[in-house]
Structures are given as C-alpha cells and as structure tokens.
Structure 1
Amino acid sequence: MTAALQKTPKPKVVCAPPAIEVTTLTKAFYNSDADRVTLAVSDFSFSVARGEFVCIVGPSGCGKTTVLRILADLESKLSGEVKLHTDDAPAMVFQEASVLPWLTVAQNVALPLKLKGTPQAQQKARVEEMLALTGLTSFANARPSQLSGGMRQRVSVARALADDRDILLMDEPFGALDEQTRLVLQQELLRIWEATRKTVVFITHSVDEALTLADRVLVMSPRPGTLVADLKVPFERPRDVVEMRRDKRFWDLTYEVWNLLASPGGA
C-alpha cells in the first residue's frame, strides 16, 4: 500500500468507567394492605462515570429523592438493576443539615471516622483536612446552634467527605437557603469537587443550580418519574458561578430545560 493510500488510524476515545449504572429502575409504594398506592419511578435508566458530577431535576413528587435513596440503599427497588462500582457505601448529604446539636463542628465531622474505629491520630488529621477544605477551621469548636444554616450545611458536606467514599449523593442540600448563600455554597462545592473529584449525584429543583454545578443534567418527568432528557453542560472547569451567568449559552440551556419541564409528558 502506498503512502498516499494509507489512512491515519483514528485516536481511541477513552471514557471513564462507570461508577453508577441504573437500568429500568421502577419503584412503587404500598399501603398496609400491600395494595399498590403510588408508582413513584418507572423504567428509569442512567449511568454516571467515575468523577462525574450529575444533577437530576424534575417537579416535586417525580421520584428524584426516591432514586437517590435507592442508590444509598435507604429504599428498596421494585424492579430494575442498580450497580455501584465501589467497595464502599456512598456518602449522603440531606436537604436539611443533619448535624448533631450536642457535638462540636469537629466532632460532627469526625463521627463517621469514629464509628468505623479510625485511630485517633488519623481522625484528627482527616478532620483538620476537611475543616480546611470546607472553610470551617475557625469554627472547629463551635456548636451547630452557633452557626448559620449555610455553615451547618458545610459541616454536613465536610462530614460526608471525611470518610473518603467514592460516591457522594446530595439531596437538595442548598434548597432551604437564601439565594446569596446558595451562590456562595455552589462556588464552594465546585471548589471542593475540583479538589476531590468525587462521583456526585445531586438532586435540585433549581435549573440554574443544576447548570452551574453539573457535567450532565438529567430531566425527569412527573410521577411516575422517568428520563425525559440527558443534557451535557458545555461549560469548562473550573467555573465561576457569577461569570457563567454572563454566557448566552447558560440562558439558552436554561430555556431548553424549562421547555422540557413545561412540555406535556415532560417533567
């Protein structure tokens, strides 16, 4: 074969292996007589690559939190398959800061390490690292009652990260906060994610929050929730939560998601 006829081989596309694979997931809730009451999620499939940040949006009652609780093994599925490619259970951050009021910030962050019997010296070093990462070092000895709602959520995030699980599940962690505090914590979460590169599944009602944080946004339909769209977010990292909002693509994509949410049969 002459040089003129030789073809340059195409470079192989290397994709990150999956951390989470969900196939045709269905979940129903039953009453005490074991009659089916509510089909919450139906035929819902998606995957998340290792180190990917995925947000799920959809209307209230569409099954977003149910999906997350199934991933965390806090709910059982009716049918389908859920695979988590990790040796550890995922860490979870709930909508309301779930810090223990009788413990200090440092003690709250250390709790998962203490429960698994981590040696004291390792606990101390890890807690100091997480407090520094989340901007809580100067609050190490404070009680939750002395902190704002945003600061308490930082404690929840620091505690979830302390045990160094591969997968982080977040159920509307900023939903109860004012807009300014949410923007601050979104920026902090982006910074923390850049430093740790955890696999994250993040539930939110906020379209702009999803586009600010995620590599991909999954849009769910009304109950029973299923996948309407899987959208790639085009913005490079690292991101600035304010500067992103100057980009026309941000608002074009916001419009696209809201159009999906408003469409019949959409979310």
Structure 2
Amino acid sequence: MSGIILDRVSYSIGEQTIFRDIDLEIPDGEITVILGPSGCGKTCMLRCIAGLAGFSKGNVTNPYEKSMSFVFQEPRLLPWYTVCKNLEINLKKNFPDKKERLSQIADWLEKTGLSDKTASYPEELSGGMKFRLSLARAFSRDCRLLLLDEPMQGQDINTKQTLIHLIRDIWQEQKTTAIYVTHDTREAVLLGHRIVVMSSAPGKVLKILDNPAIAEKLSLDDPRVLELEKRLYEFLLT
C-alpha cells in the first residue's frame, strides 16, 4: 500500500492562510514527526489528513482513512468508566468474545504499566498515566495509521523520556504508520524516523530530515540527540 500523499495542500480560516502549498509524502511503517512553532498549522494538517477538516486547495491521499486512531492533546477518556472499561469499549468490535477481550486488555495494561490501575477512574490517574491509557486505547484498535497531536504537553522531562520509549517499544512490535505533531525538538529527535520542519505561519515545509539516530533507544543527553536538535533549531530560526 502506498503511503499518505499531500499534493500542494493549503488550509485557510476565512482570509487567514494557516499553511500553504504543502507537498509531503508519509512513508508506510515509520514515525514521521511534524515539527514547527505554534500557529504554523501542524494540528490543522493532521486534521486534514484524518478527514476532520476540509483543506482549501490541493489533494490529500490517505489509504488508511478507514483504519485510523487519533491521540489528541487532551486524553479524551470517558471519566465515568474505569481504566479497564475505557479500553474494553474500544475492543468490543474486534474482540466480541469477552474472555479474549479481557485477555487483550490485560496485555495492553501490562505493556503500558497500568496493570495496577484497572479499577481506577481517569481522575485518579496522573497526566503520564492518562497518556499511557490513551496510547493503549489507540494502538489496541489494530489501526493502520496513528495520529498524535502534541500529546505530551505539560509532562516533565523524565516522564517524556519514559513515554517516548514506550511509544517506540509499541511501535517496534506493530510497525504502525504514525504521524506525530510537536513543537519540541527533543521529542522529534527521539521519535521520528523522518522529521518535517515547518516554518511559522503561514506554514510551509522548510526541511525534511532523515534521523540517523532512530535505530537506538537514546537518552535526552546523548550527543547525537543534542547535535540533531541543534540542527533543527537552526532550521526553525531561519
């Protein structure tokens, strides 16, 4: 299956152009990071790819439109359901047999370190735990495309590194095509096979970098992370 293609796509709100003439290919089976300053249209682009927003001109080809999961900036968990139930309602279609469904739930809670939170409600979880549950819910749907819209906002640096490694571990098992939106250069370096650098509004693609450090589980203070982060800053400041 060919990947996602954006062909000279523009998006406007009224007379304001948010991004303009975006040409971009998203490879299958990789994590593509879209990096840019606030207001450059990163979230709008993600919504256009997902079919949640109409673009002003151009064409978007998305072969995964019937098999997508979206992780938003806020967790969007159902507060009246426990951790277990938040996952269960997501799995009923693919796992109609309750025994098999509960086995899947137990597996995902173990992967995401939430096994002891099965009966907890979202209000009892930390921000990092809510993100883990959102991630489990998204990946457990067996989707072909995962869209993540700045999901780590507000997390401290140590929690971010733990969550980044969790995403990488789950991705390594499933090789899901993923698009991750962020304004954080370190998140981009630690997650992205390819990093698409956007300009300030009206957004355009400044540079697309392949990430040579992605094959390893690097720490935030690794020299290779710092070097690539420096390059990204230089592009963002042009």
Length-normalised TM-score, structure 1: 0.84
1:235 corresponds to 2:213: yes
| C-alpha distance in 2 between matches for 1:63 and 1:124 | 39
Q: Partners of 1:174 and 1:236 in 2: how far apart?
A: 19
Give the CA deviation at 1:87.
Answer: 6.3
**Residues 85/180 of structure 1: CA separation in 2 closer, same or farther (3 Å cut):** same
**Residue aligning to 2:81:** 103
| Aligned residue type for 2:21 | D
1:56 partnered with 2:34: yes
**In the alignment, is residue 255 of structure 1 matched against residue 230 of structure 2?**
yes
**Inter-partner Cα distance in structure 1 for 2:214 and 2:162:** 19
1:213 pairs with 2:188: no
Q: CA deviation at 1:113?
A: 2.6
Aligned letter for 2:113?
G
Deviation at 1:208, TM superposition (A): 1.1
Instruction: Check conservation: 1:187, 1:241, Cα contact below 8 A.
Output: no
In structure 2, what is the Cα distance between the partners aligned to 1:88 and 1:241? 35
2:218–2:225 CA contact under 8 A, matched in 1: no
Letter in 2 for 1:148: S
Give the structure 1 partner of residue 52 of structure 2: 74
Alpha-carbon distance in structure 2 between the residues aligned to 1:132 and 1:19 = 31
Determine the C-alpha separation between the residues in 1 that align with 2:19 and 2:234. 21
Runs of 4+ aligned residues of structure 1 deviating over 6 Å after TM superposition are none
1:18–1:235 CA distance, 2 compared to 1 (3 A) = farther
- Residue type of the partner of 1:24? R
The CA deviation string for residues 171-222 of structure 1, in whole angstroms up to 9 with x for no partner, is 0111121122111111111111112211110011110110011101000111
Higher relative contact order (CA 8 A, sep 6+): 2
2:222 maps to 1:246? yes
Alignment of 1:75-154 (within 5 A): 75-86=53-64, 88-114=66-92, 116=93, 118-119=95-96, 120-154=98-132
Percent of pairs with identical residues: 32
| Alignment correspondent of 1:190 | 168
Q: Which residue, 8, 18, 43 being the options, matches 2:2?
A: 18
State the partner residue of 2:22: 44
Structure of greater Rg: 1
CA contact (8 A) 1:131 1:137 kept: yes
Aligned counterparts of 1:233 and 1:23: Cα–Cα separation in 2: 24
Q: Is the 8 A contact 1:95 1:176 kept in 2?
A: no
Q: Quick one: distance in 2 between partners of 1:105 and 1:129? A: 13
Letter matched to residue 91 of structure 1: S
Amino acid at match of 1:145: E
Q: CA contact under 8 A between 1:96 and 1:176: conserved in structure 2? A: no
TM-score of the pair, normalised by structure 2: 0.93
Please tell me whether residue 173 in structure 1 is matched to residue 148 in structure 2: no
- Of residues 11, 28, 32, the one that matches 2:12 is 28
Give the distance between the partners of 1:157 and 1:74, measured in 2 at CA: 20
Count of aligned pairs: 237
Q: RMSD over aligned Cα, in angstroms?
A: 1.7
What are the ranges of 5 or more consecutive residues in structure 1 without an aligned counterpart? 1-16, 31-36
Q: What residue is the counterpart of 1:6 in the other structure?
A: none
1:153 CA displacement: 0.7
Unpaired segments ≥5 residues, structure 2? none
Shift of the alpha carbon at 1:123? 2.7
For the Cα contact (< 8 Å) 2:191–2:214, is it kept in 1? no
Are 1:226 and 2:216 an aligned pair? no
